[in-house]
Structure 1
Amino acid sequence: MMNATEKLHITSSDYNYDYEDLFSPCDKEPAKNVGASYLPVLYSLVFVFGLPGNVFVLWTLLKYARQKNMTDIYLFNLALCDLLLVITLPFWAYFAASEWIWGDACCKIINVCYILGYSGGVMFIILISIDRYLAIVHAVSPVRARTVRCGIISSGVMWCVAMFTSLPTMIYNKIDNIDGRIVCHTSFPSETLLRWKFLRIFRANVLGFFIPFAIMVFCYTRIIQTLLKNKSFKKHRAIKVIFTVVIVFFVFWTPHNIVMFLESLRELHILTGCEFSTRLFIAQQITESITFVHCCLNPIIYAFLGEKFRLHLRRVFHTCLPSCIMCELWDRLHFAPRDFTTLHRSQSSGSRDSSTFMSSSIQLF
């Protein structure tokens, strides 16, 4: 998917026109001005807040969790995807405000990192949802199926899929001088343009939103039904986290996917009109930048709200901070020594009944 910043300085001649546009080309200069003033600020804010959060998650998982289970592997890869996306934002911020100055090779590399982070992040959110579904609904223990090996294999498959989706960018992304400005954009051959349009529509709308959202709704609905039948005192907190996960995903991703669906209809000449095209272009820039905020929220939703990761976080603070400060942090974060002991015992135990495993599985949240 060519992101909105790639289009900022492309002239109207680079767009597909409806019949009205053939006689009166759309002036997208106001839309470009909106992007040039708005996008650099938001991209910079997401970079400032998203970079340390995801780096901290990666460092904590590498140092203390060491990917001993499938959940940690998925959290690690999600943070890595978000980090890939975040590190591209300074380039897009400068490009939105000025022009592309980093050459053709960097144009391809930055776009590939963007697509890997963007697509991969959604894929690992799906895997985390499925992992929680298996752990709670079907009480599948790590020893039986949710093994490190399965986590590594499934993660590798997802990275291959994300890499495959970035192939068009590797091949067709390039820099051009348009109206005296250097732009980094995707330029498909005219003879295969319609085919690439359909592939882009399918990837953006179906693979990028509808399938992930359907899987999340199914998995978390079944998880809630299972938790409501369980007598664990932690189930209410787990249900709150589930609603947070689904609502945040829906709020931050739905607007952009609606706009992309409308853009697909425009490209297929089903929706026409110069004013509509200009407003849709502005909406693309705004809604796509909103999805980037998800990179800042993922570490909080999937890592810091999870009890197991918080116990890893406790070890980080125990190593880095004086004991007097630690006592106050434990109270604020609701840590208790027995939580760590319980988790250690549950991880070292090779067999358990379903109710005990259920209580341990809720610690995923």
Structure 2
Amino acid sequence: MSVENTSMTTEYDYSFFYEYNETCPPDDLSSVKDFKQVFLTPLYSLVFILGFIGNALVVCVLVKHRNQSNLTDICLFNLALSDLLFIFTLPFYSHYVRVSRWIFGDFMCRLISGSHQTGFFSSIFFMVVMTLDRYMIIVHAHRVARYRTMRAAIILTVFVWMLSLFVSLPDFIFTEAMKNDSDSQRFECDYPQNSTVWERYDLFTVNVLGLVIPLLVMVGCYSRIIPTLVTMRTTKKHRIVKLIICIVVVFFLLWAPYNISRFLKFLQDRNIIPSDHTWYKNVRMSITVTEAFAYTHCCLNPIIYAFVGQKFMRRALQLLKKLVPGYSRGLSDSSFRRSSVMSRSSEVTSTNVM
């Protein structure tokens, strides 16, 4: 982060975990800062509440039925844990946005930044694993069925978490709580000053590992899965095809705008593209908005990957029936049994896809 003239205030873009060089007067960016305080704080709170409820329910259901778990269930369990790790960091950044300073100290700066990145990457990586698992079990079922063992699932889970931790290590090691250049009483949580190496590293990992590669895997695998499903004799194939398309579209629509906005900002900071005051402010505003909507993906994961599956939905209803008296009073035992019988015919397909 560079030091500007004394008549200018360095505005810290605390939402994006990397520094930038200020080229705009503070008046031009004050509206962006005010928008963050008004927009991000309640949205982070909403994402935290909805994400915690949905992912915690996924964890509870899968723990309760752990003796019946397969590779898909283990991936769902770890995906929910990844999202929980991610959303637990949001209250800290919500406070950071609201007061415009980091008050939690250097250790928490490193821990929260690293946990945030670990939760982000592990969530993406487990979605990729689930996509590859669907592809193998549907397109090459006769070859891989015997390899989908509990031991293989545990090894794969450990590998994904270690990979996520490794990619996020710079945030654990190099981020720090440091004084603001213009206000010695105000601390920021960021990479060290003038650390362009880690700025580029962060941009590369988030764009390539967090968007480009996962999207290519999803498109490639699902383009093979859909024709195979269409030829299957199941009444649920149209619902499953629509669900697959929904998974790819939602992932792209939520994450692509954020990554594109960050890349545009990187080009601005390197003077590769024009950076007049209006364009500069608009790009930073777009990062704020697109980042907030991208973070809502952790709320949608339980709906997309878990609650749409009939087997999982049946288990969730049974758990809620025990935990919340009167929750399923409107569901008669006969209707619940009838729904269970109807879903058994497609349970194998639903399990493989979900």
In the alignment, residue 360 of structure 1 is paired with which amino acid?
V
Write out per-residue CA displacement over residues 310-358 of structure 1, whole angstroms, 9 at most, x where no aligned residue: 2322442454457972734985898323645x68xxxxxxxxxxxxxxx
* 2:256 equivalent in structure 1: 254
Q: 1-side partners of 2:328 and 2:127: how far apart?
A: 37
Q: 2-side partners of 1:49 and 1:9: how far apart?
A: 21
Find the partner of 1:116 among 103, 118, 122: 118
1:327 aligns with 2:331: yes
What is the deviation of 1:107? Answer: 1.2
Q: 2-side partners of 1:329 and 1:189: how far apart?
A: 63
Residues 8, 35 of structure 1: 8 Å contact kept: no
* 1:135 equivalent in structure 2: 137
Residues 43, 89 of structure 1: 8 Å contact kept: yes
Q: How does 1:82-231 map to 2 (within 5 A)?
A: 82-98=83-99, 99-140=101-142, 143-178=145-180, 179-180=182-183, 182-188=186-192, 190=194, 193-231=195-233
Q: Kindly, what percent of the aligned residue pairs are identical?
A: 34
Write out per-residue CA displacement over residues 245-299 of structure 1, whole angstroms, 9 at most, x where no aligned residue: 1111111111101112212222332123242222211111111111111111111
Write out per-residue CA displacement over residues 210-268 of structure 1, whole angstroms, 9 at most, x where no aligned residue: 11001011111111110111121111111121122111111111110111221222233
Name the TM-score, length of structure 1 as normaliser.
0.83
In the alignment, residue 98 of structure 2 is paired with which amino acid?
A
* 1:354 equivalent in structure 2: none
Write out per-residue CA displacement over residues 102-134 of structure 1, whole angstroms, 9 at most, x where no aligned residue: 111111111111111111111111111111111
Residues 67, 148 of structure 1: 8 Å contact kept: no
What is the deviation of 1:188? Answer: 3.3
* 2:30 equivalent in structure 1: 29
Tell me: CA distance 1:266–1:248, structure 2 relative to 1, closer, same or farther (3 Å): same
Mean Cα displacement is larger for which, 134-143 or 80-89? 134-143
Write out per-residue CA displacement over residues 47-94 of structure 1, whole angstroms, 9 at most, x where no aligned residue: 111111111111110111347211011000110011011111111111
Name the TM-score, length of structure 2 as normaliser.
0.85
Find the partner of 2:314 among 311, 320, 338: 311
3-state DSSP class of the match of 2:186? strand
Tell me: CA distance 1:148–1:282, structure 2 relative to 1, closer, same or farther (3 Å): same
Tell me: CA distance 1:33–1:287, structure 2 relative to 1, closer, same or farther (3 Å): same
Residues 256, 291 of structure 1: 8 Å contact kept: yes
In the alignment, residue 289 of structure 2 is paired with which amino acid?
I
3-state DSSP class of the match of 1:185? strand
What is the deviation of 1:140? Answer: 4.8
Q: 1-side partners of 2:41 and 2:67: how far apart?
A: 36
Residues 119, 162 of structure 1: 8 Å contact kept: yes
Q: 2-side partners of 1:42 and 1:253: how far apart?
A: 17
Residues 133, 220 of structure 1: 8 Å contact kept: yes
What is the deviation of 1:205? Answer: 1.3
1:293 aligns with 2:296: yes
Mean Cα displacement is larger for which, 199-208 or 134-143? 134-143
Q: 1-side partners of 2:91 and 2:36: how far apart?
A: 15
* 2:3 equivalent in structure 1: none
* 2:66 equivalent in structure 1: 65
Structure 1 residues not aligned, in runs of 5+: 344-358
* 2:44 equivalent in structure 1: 43
1:74 aligns with 2:75: yes
3-state DSSP class of the match of 1:325? coil
Structure 2 residues not aligned, in runs of 5+: 1-10
**Matched residue count:** 336
Tell me: CA distance 1:48–1:168, structure 2 relative to 1, closer, same or farther (3 Å): same
Residues 110, 176 of structure 2: 8 Å contact kept: yes
